[in-house]
Protein backbone atom coordinates (compact mmCIF):
# COMPACT_ATOMS: atom_id res chain seq x y z
CA UNK A 1 0.00 0.00 0.00
CA UNK A 2 1.45 3.34 -1.08
CA UNK A 3 2.32 6.06 1.40
CA UNK A 4 0.62 9.42 0.92
CA UNK A 5 0.32 12.64 2.88
CA UNK A 6 -3.40 12.01 3.48
CA UNK A 7 -4.94 9.84 6.20
CA UNK A 8 -8.32 8.56 4.97
CA UNK A 9 -9.25 7.67 8.55
CA UNK A 10 -9.04 11.33 9.60
CA UNK A 11 -12.55 12.89 9.36
CA UNK A 12 -10.96 16.27 8.85
CA UNK A 13 -9.64 15.44 5.38
CA UNK A 14 -13.19 15.12 4.03
CA UNK A 15 -14.12 18.55 5.34
CA UNK A 16 -10.89 19.95 3.97
CA UNK A 17 -11.07 18.62 0.41
CA UNK A 18 -14.72 17.67 -0.23
CA UNK A 19 -15.95 21.24 -0.06
CA UNK A 20 -19.03 20.68 -2.25
CA UNK A 21 -20.27 17.57 -0.46
CA UNK A 22 -19.85 14.67 -2.90
CA UNK A 23 -19.77 12.31 0.08
CA UNK A 24 -23.42 13.10 0.84
CA UNK A 25 -24.43 11.86 -2.60
CA UNK A 26 -22.59 8.58 -2.01
CA UNK A 27 -24.45 8.17 1.28
CA UNK A 28 -27.76 8.86 -0.49
CA UNK A 29 -27.35 6.27 -3.25
CA UNK A 30 -29.52 3.49 -1.70
CA UNK A 31 -32.41 5.84 -0.95
CA UNK A 32 -32.12 7.56 -4.33
CA UNK A 33 -32.43 4.22 -6.12
CA UNK A 34 -35.59 3.39 -4.18
CA UNK A 35 -37.05 6.85 -4.77
CA UNK A 36 -36.25 6.85 -8.49
CA UNK A 37 -37.82 3.42 -8.99
CA UNK A 38 -41.00 4.16 -7.04
CA UNK A 39 -41.51 7.52 -8.75
CA UNK A 40 -40.99 6.05 -12.21
CA UNK A 41 -43.33 3.12 -11.56
CA UNK A 42 -46.05 5.62 -10.62
CA UNK A 43 -45.47 7.66 -13.78
CA UNK A 44 -48.05 7.08 -16.53
CA UNK A 45 -46.75 6.67 -20.07
CA UNK A 46 -49.00 7.20 -23.12
CA UNK A 47 -50.62 3.96 -24.27
CA UNK A 48 -49.30 4.50 -27.82
CA UNK A 49 -45.74 3.94 -26.57
CA UNK A 50 -46.47 0.22 -26.46
CA UNK A 51 -46.36 0.10 -30.27
CA UNK A 52 -42.67 1.03 -30.52
CA UNK A 53 -40.11 -1.43 -31.87
CA UNK A 54 -36.87 0.32 -30.84
CA UNK A 55 -35.55 2.74 -28.23
CA UNK A 56 -32.93 5.45 -28.66
CA UNK A 57 -31.54 6.98 -25.47
CA UNK A 58 -29.89 10.32 -26.17
CA UNK A 59 -27.58 11.83 -23.59
CA UNK A 60 -24.03 12.74 -22.69
CA UNK A 61 -21.69 12.01 -19.78
CA UNK A 62 -23.35 11.27 -16.46
CA UNK A 63 -26.82 11.53 -18.01
CA UNK A 64 -26.04 8.86 -20.62
CA UNK A 65 -24.40 6.20 -18.48
CA UNK A 66 -27.79 5.16 -17.07
CA UNK A 67 -28.87 4.22 -20.58
CA UNK A 68 -25.69 2.21 -21.03
CA UNK A 69 -26.40 0.26 -17.86
CA UNK A 70 -30.00 -0.40 -18.94
CA UNK A 71 -28.88 -1.62 -22.34
CA UNK A 72 -26.33 -4.07 -20.94
CA UNK A 73 -28.71 -5.36 -18.25
CA UNK A 74 -31.66 -5.78 -20.63
CA UNK A 75 -29.67 -7.18 -23.57
CA UNK A 76 -30.52 -10.82 -22.80
CA UNK A 77 -34.29 -10.31 -22.60
CA UNK A 78 -35.37 -7.02 -24.20
CA UNK A 79 -37.76 -7.60 -27.09
CA UNK A 80 -36.55 -4.47 -28.87
CA UNK A 81 -33.13 -2.94 -29.62
CA UNK A 82 -31.88 -0.25 -27.23
CA UNK A 83 -29.46 2.22 -28.79
CA UNK A 84 -27.41 4.83 -26.92
CA UNK A 85 -26.82 8.07 -28.84
CA UNK A 86 -23.99 10.32 -27.64
CA UNK A 87 -23.86 12.99 -30.32
CA UNK A 88 -25.70 15.80 -32.04
CA UNK A 89 -28.85 15.03 -34.06
CA UNK A 90 -30.29 11.53 -34.34
CA UNK A 91 -29.81 8.45 -36.55
CA UNK A 92 -31.69 8.57 -39.84
CA UNK A 93 -33.72 5.44 -39.09
CA UNK A 94 -35.87 7.19 -36.44
CA UNK A 95 -39.53 6.70 -37.35
CA UNK A 96 -43.01 6.54 -35.83
CA UNK A 97 -42.18 3.29 -34.04
CA UNK A 98 -39.11 4.71 -32.29
CA UNK A 99 -39.14 5.87 -28.69
CA UNK A 100 -36.57 8.62 -28.25
CA UNK A 101 -35.67 9.08 -24.58
CA UNK A 102 -33.78 12.34 -24.12
CA UNK A 103 -31.84 12.41 -20.85
CA UNK A 104 -30.09 15.53 -19.55
CA UNK A 105 -29.77 16.34 -15.86
CA UNK A 106 -29.25 20.05 -16.47
CA UNK A 107 -31.56 20.30 -19.43
CA UNK A 108 -28.98 22.52 -21.12
CA UNK A 109 -26.57 19.99 -22.68
CA UNK A 110 -25.82 21.20 -26.20
CA UNK A 111 -25.64 17.82 -27.92
CA UNK A 112 -28.76 16.50 -26.17
CA UNK A 113 -30.79 19.60 -27.01
CA UNK A 114 -29.75 19.08 -30.63
CA UNK A 115 -31.07 15.51 -30.48
CA UNK A 116 -34.34 16.66 -28.96
CA UNK A 117 -34.82 19.36 -31.59
CA UNK A 118 -34.26 16.74 -34.27
CA UNK A 119 -36.70 14.38 -32.54
CA UNK A 120 -39.37 17.07 -32.64
CA UNK A 121 -39.08 17.03 -36.44
CA UNK A 122 -39.86 13.30 -36.58
CA UNK A 123 -42.97 11.21 -35.85
CA UNK A 124 -41.10 9.34 -33.10
CA UNK A 125 -42.56 8.90 -29.64
CA UNK A 126 -40.65 11.10 -27.22
CA UNK A 127 -39.87 11.13 -23.51
CA UNK A 128 -37.69 13.57 -21.56
CA UNK A 129 -35.80 12.84 -18.33
CA UNK A 130 -34.41 15.98 -16.70
CA UNK A 131 -34.17 18.12 -13.60
CA UNK A 132 -35.06 21.29 -15.51
CA UNK A 133 -33.51 23.76 -17.94
CA UNK A 134 -34.39 24.51 -21.55
CA UNK A 135 -35.09 20.85 -22.26
CA UNK A 136 -37.93 20.74 -19.74
CA UNK A 137 -39.34 24.07 -20.89
CA UNK A 138 -39.40 23.09 -24.56
CA UNK A 139 -40.85 19.65 -23.83
CA UNK A 140 -43.68 21.08 -21.76
CA UNK A 141 -44.42 23.64 -24.44
CA UNK A 142 -44.54 20.87 -27.07
CA UNK A 143 -46.63 18.65 -24.75
CA UNK A 144 -43.95 15.96 -24.64
CA UNK A 145 -44.03 13.72 -21.52
CA UNK A 146 -41.41 14.83 -18.99
CA UNK A 147 -40.13 12.69 -16.14
CA UNK A 148 -38.80 15.43 -13.90
CA UNK A 149 -36.94 15.02 -10.63
CA UNK A 150 -35.61 17.44 -8.04
CA UNK A 151 -32.22 16.36 -6.74
CA UNK A 152 -29.37 18.86 -6.61
CA UNK A 153 -26.09 17.18 -7.51
CA UNK A 154 -23.48 16.88 -10.22
CA UNK A 155 -25.12 14.83 -13.02
CA UNK A 156 -22.90 11.82 -12.33
CA UNK A 157 -24.13 11.75 -8.72
CA UNK A 158 -27.76 11.57 -9.89
CA UNK A 159 -27.25 8.24 -11.67
CA UNK A 160 -30.27 6.66 -9.97
CA UNK A 161 -32.55 9.04 -11.92
CA UNK A 162 -30.95 8.41 -15.31
CA UNK A 163 -30.90 4.63 -14.84
CA UNK A 164 -33.78 3.16 -12.87
CA UNK A 165 -36.61 5.21 -14.49
CA UNK A 166 -35.64 3.90 -17.93
CA UNK A 167 -35.59 0.35 -16.55
CA UNK A 168 -39.01 0.96 -14.97
CA UNK A 169 -40.43 2.33 -18.22
CA UNK A 170 -39.26 -0.71 -20.19
CA UNK A 171 -40.95 -2.91 -17.59
CA UNK A 172 -44.17 -0.88 -17.70
CA UNK A 173 -44.21 -1.23 -21.50
CA UNK A 174 -43.73 -5.03 -21.12
CA UNK A 175 -40.39 -5.15 -22.94
CA UNK A 176 -38.55 -6.68 -19.96
CA UNK A 177 -39.60 -8.80 -16.98
CA UNK A 178 -40.65 -7.46 -13.58
CA UNK A 179 -37.62 -6.07 -11.77
CA UNK A 180 -39.34 -5.01 -8.55
CA UNK A 181 -37.80 -7.77 -6.42
CA UNK A 182 -34.38 -7.13 -7.98
CA UNK A 183 -34.62 -3.42 -7.16
CA UNK A 184 -35.54 -4.21 -3.54
CA UNK A 185 -32.53 -6.51 -3.30
CA UNK A 186 -30.36 -3.81 -4.87
CA UNK A 187 -31.41 -1.16 -2.34
CA UNK A 188 -30.67 -3.52 0.56
CA UNK A 189 -27.36 -4.54 -1.00
CA UNK A 190 -26.30 -0.93 -1.48
CA UNK A 191 -27.08 -0.04 2.13
CA UNK A 192 -25.12 -3.01 3.42
CA UNK A 193 -22.19 -2.18 1.13
CA UNK A 194 -22.18 1.48 2.15
CA UNK A 195 -22.03 0.43 5.79
CA UNK A 196 -18.82 -1.50 4.97
CA UNK A 197 -16.98 1.06 2.82
CA UNK A 198 -18.07 4.52 3.97
CA UNK A 199 -15.57 7.02 5.36
CA UNK A 200 -16.21 5.98 9.00
CA UNK A 201 -14.86 2.47 8.34
CA UNK A 202 -11.11 2.45 8.97
CA UNK A 203 -8.59 1.66 6.27
CA UNK A 204 -7.65 -1.73 7.71
CA UNK A 205 -11.27 -2.92 7.27
CA UNK A 206 -12.31 -0.82 4.27
CA UNK A 207 -11.64 -2.42 0.86
CA UNK A 208 -12.58 0.75 -1.04
CA UNK A 209 -10.01 2.83 0.86
CA UNK A 210 -7.46 0.06 0.38
CA UNK A 211 -8.03 -0.04 -3.37
CA UNK A 212 -7.75 3.75 -3.63
CA UNK A 213 -4.33 3.50 -1.98
CA UNK A 214 -3.28 0.82 -4.48
CA UNK A 215 -4.35 3.05 -7.38
CA UNK A 216 -2.73 6.24 -6.08
CA UNK A 217 -0.15 7.53 -8.56
CA UNK A 218 -1.05 4.89 -11.15
CA UNK A 219 -2.85 4.81 -14.50
CA UNK A 220 -6.01 2.76 -13.96
CA UNK A 221 -7.58 0.57 -16.66
CA UNK A 222 -10.87 -1.11 -15.74
CA UNK A 223 -11.98 -4.44 -17.26
CA UNK A 224 -15.59 -5.65 -17.35
CA UNK A 225 -17.57 -8.21 -19.32
CA UNK A 226 -21.21 -8.93 -20.13
CA UNK A 227 -23.47 -6.94 -17.75
CA UNK A 228 -20.38 -5.37 -16.17
CA UNK A 229 -19.10 -3.83 -19.41
CA UNK A 230 -20.76 -0.49 -18.80
CA UNK A 231 -19.96 -0.64 -15.10
CA UNK A 232 -16.31 -0.59 -16.18
CA UNK A 233 -17.17 2.45 -18.31
CA UNK A 234 -18.70 4.12 -15.25
CA UNK A 235 -15.55 3.44 -13.18
CA UNK A 236 -13.41 5.01 -15.90
CA UNK A 237 -15.45 8.21 -16.05
CA UNK A 238 -15.59 8.47 -12.25
CA UNK A 239 -11.80 8.34 -12.06
CA UNK A 240 -11.74 11.08 -14.69
CA UNK A 241 -14.32 13.38 -13.07
CA UNK A 242 -14.01 12.65 -9.37
CA UNK A 243 -10.30 11.84 -9.09
CA UNK A 244 -9.18 14.15 -11.95
CA UNK A 245 -7.08 11.20 -13.12
CA UNK A 246 -6.20 9.44 -16.35
CA UNK A 247 -8.14 6.18 -16.77
CA UNK A 248 -9.37 3.79 -19.43
CA UNK A 249 -11.63 0.78 -19.72
CA UNK A 250 -11.82 -2.39 -21.81
CA UNK A 251 -14.57 -4.92 -22.40
CA UNK A 252 -14.43 -8.72 -22.41
CA UNK A 253 -14.39 -10.72 -24.61
CA UNK A 254 -13.26 -8.04 -27.10
CA UNK A 255 -10.10 -7.13 -25.14
CA UNK A 256 -8.92 -10.73 -25.54
CA UNK A 257 -8.65 -10.07 -29.28
CA UNK A 258 -6.38 -7.02 -29.04
CA UNK A 259 -5.58 -5.42 -25.65
CA UNK A 260 -3.82 -8.50 -24.27
CA UNK A 261 -1.28 -8.31 -27.11
CA UNK A 262 -0.34 -4.76 -26.15
CA UNK A 263 0.99 -5.51 -22.67
CA UNK A 264 4.63 -5.61 -23.85
CA UNK A 265 5.47 -2.05 -24.85
CA UNK A 266 6.49 0.46 -23.72
CA UNK A 267 7.93 -1.68 -20.94
CA UNK A 268 8.16 1.13 -18.41
CA UNK A 269 4.36 1.53 -18.46
CA UNK A 270 3.87 -1.85 -16.78
CA UNK A 271 5.05 -0.33 -13.51
CA UNK A 272 2.58 2.58 -13.77
CA UNK A 273 -0.59 0.71 -14.75
CA UNK A 274 -3.06 -1.12 -12.54
CA UNK A 275 -5.85 -3.15 -14.12
CA UNK A 276 -9.04 -3.45 -12.09
CA UNK A 277 -11.12 -6.51 -12.99
CA UNK A 278 -14.81 -6.18 -12.15
CA UNK A 279 -16.37 -9.58 -11.51
CA UNK A 280 -19.64 -11.09 -10.34
CA UNK A 281 -21.25 -14.51 -10.02
CA UNK A 282 -23.82 -13.60 -12.69
CA UNK A 283 -21.25 -13.63 -15.49
CA UNK A 284 -21.54 -16.47 -18.03
CA UNK A 285 -19.08 -19.33 -17.56
CA UNK A 286 -17.12 -18.60 -20.77
CA UNK A 287 -16.65 -14.98 -19.69
CA UNK A 288 -15.50 -16.11 -16.24
CA UNK A 289 -12.97 -18.40 -17.92
CA UNK A 290 -11.69 -15.45 -19.94
CA UNK A 291 -11.25 -13.48 -16.70
CA UNK A 292 -9.09 -16.27 -15.29
CA UNK A 293 -6.94 -16.48 -18.41
CA UNK A 294 -6.64 -12.69 -18.60
CA UNK A 295 -5.40 -12.58 -15.01
CA UNK A 296 -2.74 -15.12 -15.96
CA UNK A 297 -1.66 -12.98 -18.93
CA UNK A 298 -1.43 -9.86 -16.77
CA UNK A 299 0.65 -11.71 -14.20
CA UNK A 300 2.95 -13.11 -16.89
CA UNK A 301 3.45 -9.59 -18.24
CA UNK A 302 4.28 -8.16 -14.81
CA UNK A 303 1.21 -5.90 -14.73
CA UNK A 304 -0.41 -5.28 -11.37
CA UNK A 305 -4.11 -6.06 -11.16
CA UNK A 306 -6.84 -5.93 -8.56
CA UNK A 307 -10.18 -7.77 -8.61
CA UNK A 308 -13.46 -6.47 -7.21
CA UNK A 309 -16.51 -8.70 -6.78
CA UNK A 310 -20.09 -7.47 -7.05
CA UNK A 311 -22.48 -8.32 -4.24
CA UNK A 312 -26.18 -9.14 -4.14
CA UNK A 313 -28.41 -11.91 -5.46
CA UNK A 314 -29.22 -10.60 -8.95
CA UNK A 315 -27.34 -9.11 -11.92
CA UNK A 316 -28.92 -5.72 -11.12
CA UNK A 317 -27.69 -5.63 -7.52
CA UNK A 318 -24.26 -6.91 -8.55
CA UNK A 319 -23.99 -4.20 -11.20
CA UNK A 320 -25.10 -1.34 -8.99
CA UNK A 321 -23.05 -2.51 -6.00
CA UNK A 322 -19.97 -2.34 -8.21
CA UNK A 323 -21.03 1.13 -9.36
CA UNK A 324 -21.23 2.32 -5.75
CA UNK A 325 -17.94 0.64 -4.86
CA UNK A 326 -16.26 2.39 -7.78
CA UNK A 327 -17.81 5.72 -6.81
CA UNK A 328 -16.32 5.40 -3.33
CA UNK A 329 -12.91 4.36 -4.68
CA UNK A 330 -12.79 7.34 -7.06
CA UNK A 331 -13.88 9.59 -4.20
CA UNK A 332 -11.16 8.33 -1.87
CA UNK A 333 -8.61 8.66 -4.68
CA UNK A 334 -9.61 12.31 -5.11
CA UNK A 335 -8.99 12.89 -1.41
CA UNK A 336 -5.59 11.19 -1.68
CA UNK A 337 -4.81 13.55 -4.58
CA UNK A 338 -6.00 16.41 -2.35
CA UNK A 339 -8.65 17.66 -4.79
CA UNK A 340 -12.37 18.37 -4.43
CA UNK A 341 -14.22 15.55 -6.25
CA UNK A 342 -17.16 17.70 -7.36
CA UNK A 343 -15.93 20.52 -9.63
CA UNK A 344 -15.13 19.76 -13.28
CA UNK A 345 -13.45 23.03 -14.21
CA UNK A 346 -12.08 21.72 -17.51
CA UNK A 347 -15.57 20.79 -18.73
CA UNK A 348 -16.89 24.16 -17.61
CA UNK A 349 -14.08 25.83 -19.57
CA UNK A 350 -14.87 23.77 -22.66
CA UNK A 351 -18.56 24.65 -22.52
CA UNK A 352 -17.67 28.31 -22.10
CA UNK A 353 -15.45 28.19 -25.17
CA UNK A 354 -18.22 26.53 -27.18
CA UNK A 355 -20.52 29.42 -26.33
CA UNK A 356 -18.03 31.93 -27.71
CA UNK A 357 -18.94 33.17 -31.22
CA UNK A 358 -16.73 31.79 -33.96
CA UNK A 359 -15.03 34.13 -36.40
Residues 16 and 44 in one domain: no
Check if the beta carbon of residue 73 is closer than 8 Å to that of residue 316.
yes
> Which residue, of 146, 163, 178, is where some domain finishes?
178
Residue from 44, 143, 257, 268 carrying the catalytic annotation: 257
Centre a 10 Å sphere on the Cβ of residue 1 and count the other Cβ atoms it contains.
11
351 is a catalytic site residue: yes
Statement to judge: residues 174 and 287 lie in one domain: no
Report the alpha-carbon distance of residue 206 to residue 132 in Å, rounded: 37
Same domain, 16 and 35: no
Catalytic residue among 199, 230, 241, 250: 241
Of the candidates 20, 110, 272, 351, the residue annotated as catalytic is 351
- Check residue 4 and give its pLDDT: 79
Question: Is 54 among the catalytic positions?
Answer: no
Is 244 among the domain residues?
A: yes
**What is the model's pLDDT at position 359?**
52
CATH number, domain with residue 88: 3.40.50.10490
Our count of domains for the chain comes to: 2
Same domain membership, residue 215 and residue 172: no
- Cβ contact 204:294 at 8 Å: no
Look at residue 326 and tell me if it is in a domain: yes
Assess whether 117 carries a catalytic annotation: no
User: For each of the chain's 359 residues, which pLDDT tens digit applies?
Assistant: 676 789 999 999 999 999 999 999 999 999 999 999 999 999 999 999 999 999 999 999 999 999 999 999 999 999 899 999 999 999 999 999 999 999 999 999 999 999 999 999 999 999 999 999 999 999 999 999 999 999 999 999 999 999 999 999 999 999 999 999 999 999 999 999 999 999 999 999 999 999 999 999 999 999 999 999 999 999 999 999 999 999 999 999 999 999 999 999 999 998 999 999 999 999 999 999 999 999 999 999 999 999 999 999 999 999 999 999 999 999 999 999 999 999 999 999 999 999 876 55
Residues 6+ away with beta carbon under 8 Å from 135 = 102, 104, 107, 108, 109, 112, 113, 116, 128
State the pLDDT at residue 356. 79
- Residue 290 domain-assigned (yes or no): yes
207 and 329 co-located in one domain: yes
Residues 137 and 262 in one domain: no
Instruction: Give the residues across from 290 on adjacent strands.
Output: none
> Structural domain of residue 222, as residue ranges?
11-20+201-336
Amino acid sequence: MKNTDVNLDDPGVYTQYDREGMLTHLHNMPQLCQQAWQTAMAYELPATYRTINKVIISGMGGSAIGGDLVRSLAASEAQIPIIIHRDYGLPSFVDDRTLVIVSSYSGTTEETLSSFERALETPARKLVITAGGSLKNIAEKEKIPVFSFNYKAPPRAALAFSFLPILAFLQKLDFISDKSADVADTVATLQSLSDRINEAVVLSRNPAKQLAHELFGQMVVVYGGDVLSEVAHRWKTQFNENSKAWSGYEVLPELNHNAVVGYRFPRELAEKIVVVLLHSSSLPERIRLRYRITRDLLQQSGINYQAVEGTGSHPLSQMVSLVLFGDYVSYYLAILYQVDPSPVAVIDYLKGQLREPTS
